[in-house]
Structure 1
């Protein structure tokens, strides 16, 4: 016999008869008529070729086959009932869950210290693993649940993704203390003559910096191109190279690497650093908790606001 041959409602009636032993009581419990209970029992008797329950002065007594089926059927229905009515919970104080978050190295430098400090107080057993952002592969990893959240300037994550704004960033120029540019204003002409490091962080919107510089008429190519920000401070502190970076990186790098910053003479639109999650994780309580922690710690916008765009839902601040 295959499962598709059995109406699950028949097993529900069977289970109630095991428990109450009276058709009238089963009918009241299930909210159906007594003839409907009798009809269900007759259908099940035909399917299993057994009487299943016998009438006695003490009520309906199960046959040997019914007694054999009682345990497995009761257990199976309990599992189904629990699964359908379960409400997932997440207790940060006791959880040992491991979350995977995609972010650039700027995100690691700027966000991770504060995030881990907060988690140490709220969820001491929770673990965070970060992964690099790699273009289209990020979408698939988030769709499959391999990555819980992504943080950064990621204009490629649109349809199928939710996002919440954390902060906006301007681009600034940074270079070592004592650099010749530090002795005069950072004009477009001075910028155009300087040797530059460009950062092409794959999968992020930072590649538009070079495009904006070219559109400003700066024809001199960068002398060095690196795929991330990790080594940038080390490079700048010992050379006359300059770099155009988000302000968040500059805030962390200036003191650490003895650098200075100046407004960038090239007009580059500010970037929005968002936290992203896939629609399949929108109602998942652990994911909700972590992105709320991140938003509470780093979001600068005080008023919840959510808007729907053709590309997907954009959630600003803490609104969901």
Structure 2
């Protein structure tokens, strides 16, 4: 069992020193464990590629079984170690976009301060291809997003749905816009830093041709740009548009094109499915969304 713990740490860290540090072992003890694993399985298991230790094909076939064993052990141990939000000083790590930080994070913090006064939050934005590893390694407790995480191995839960709205400068005279005017204006389009598809790709998928004047990975700068450039418009998730509007930054109008629903979900790794702190956090996030978004 001790060797499987070492194997599990090496799978996640891909580095002997970091795996040893994670388990509270010396580097020589971790190297000894790796040597015993190699002898037992008659396979190198991990080979150095650049600065990382990469699993061999045989080690990759073992990974799922080891994960299942470690998760079972963890869930049984957690029965004796329940998370207590009233006394915990845990730092919860969330992966979300700047839209999530602007719209949802204030409400989550408000609730967290009531029920877990000594806990704290750390947020990050990661390329989608890095999210799985960060969740698996415990660097991120939850990833909250709409459509940028595509991995069948992760657990996920729908939080709520909303559509898109078009936002314009507050100097825009009308409360609605026809399609001809919409297409004649210059558009701001958000592309998350690692994605090739625009957030408002559905407009182009309908066959409408428009001029994309600005492509940006950030939502939060759009109101300031519209204020200075009233001939520009943007189509964004409705909840974000409402947040901008509350600060008198922009005006919301209904887009003159059919808008799909946007599904916002929280994602977590099977390794932490039974971990009591992660369970509590997931339940808190869901209750906050149920209370404020429905």
User: When the two structures are superposed, what TM-score results if normalisation uses the length of structure 1?
Assistant: 0.63
| Counterpart position of 1:263 | 254
Corresponding residue to 1:194 among 182, 185, 188: 185
Instruction: Note closer, same or farther for the CA distance 1:220–1:207 as it changes in structure 2 (3 Å cut).
Output: closer
User: Which residue of 2 is the match for residue 114 of structure 1?
Assistant: 107
Q: Name the counterpart of 1:17.
A: none
Residue aligning to 1:90 = 83
Corresponding position of 1:227: 217
Q: 1:157 to 1:285 in 2, by over 3 A?
A: farther
Give the Cα separation in 1 of the matches to 2:142 and 2:256.
Answer: 34
Q: 1:84 to 1:292 in 2, by over 3 A?
A: closer
Q: Which residue of 2 aligns with 1:61?
A: none
Please say if 1:152 is aligned against 2:145.
Answer: yes
**Residues 205-284 of structure 1 aligned to structure 2 (within 5 Å):** 207-210=198-201, 212-240=202-230, 241-284=232-275
Superposition RMSD in Å: 2.7
Structure-1 separation of matches of 2:107 and 2:123: 15
Q: Larger C-alpha radius of gyration, 1 or 2?
A: 1
Q: 1:130 aligns with which of 120, 123, 128?
A: 123
**How has the CA–CA distance of structure 1 residues 86 and 248 changed in structure 2, closer, same or farther, with 3 Å as cutoff?**
closer
User: 1:163: how far off?
Assistant: 1.2
Per-residue deviation at 1:114? 0.9
Gaps of 5+ in 2: 4-75
Structure-1 separation of matches of 2:121 and 2:85: 13
SS for the counterpart of 1:299 is helix
Shift of 1:155: 4.6
Alpha-carbon distance in 1 for matches of 2:207, 2:96: 32
- Contact 1:97/1:127 (CA < 8 Å) preserved in 2? yes
Contact 2:189/2:199, CA 8 A, preserved across alignment: no
Alpha-carbon offset, residue 221 of structure 1: 2.3
Tell me the number of residue pairs that the alignment of Structure 1 and Structure 2 aligns: 220
* Distance change >3 Å, CA 297–CA 157, structure 1 → 2: same
What TM-score, normalized by structure 2, do the two folds share? 0.69
Residues 1:101 and 2:94 are matched in the alignment = yes
Q: Secondary structure at the match of 1:298?
A: helix
CA distance in 1 between counterparts of 2:113 and 2:78 reads 32
Asked if 2 retains the 8 angstrom alpha-carbon contact of 1:172 and 1:244, the reply is yes
| Deviation, structure 1 residue 134 | 1.3
SS of 2:167 mapped into structure 1: strand
The 5 Å alignment of 1:284-299 reads: 284-299=275-290
Measured in 2, the distance between the counterparts of 1:204 and 1:289 equals: 31
Unaligned runs of 5+ in 1: 5-82, 303-316
Distance 2:116 2:227 in 1: 38
The structure 1 segments of at least 4 consecutive aligned residues displaced by more than 4 Å after TM superposition are 83-86, 203-206
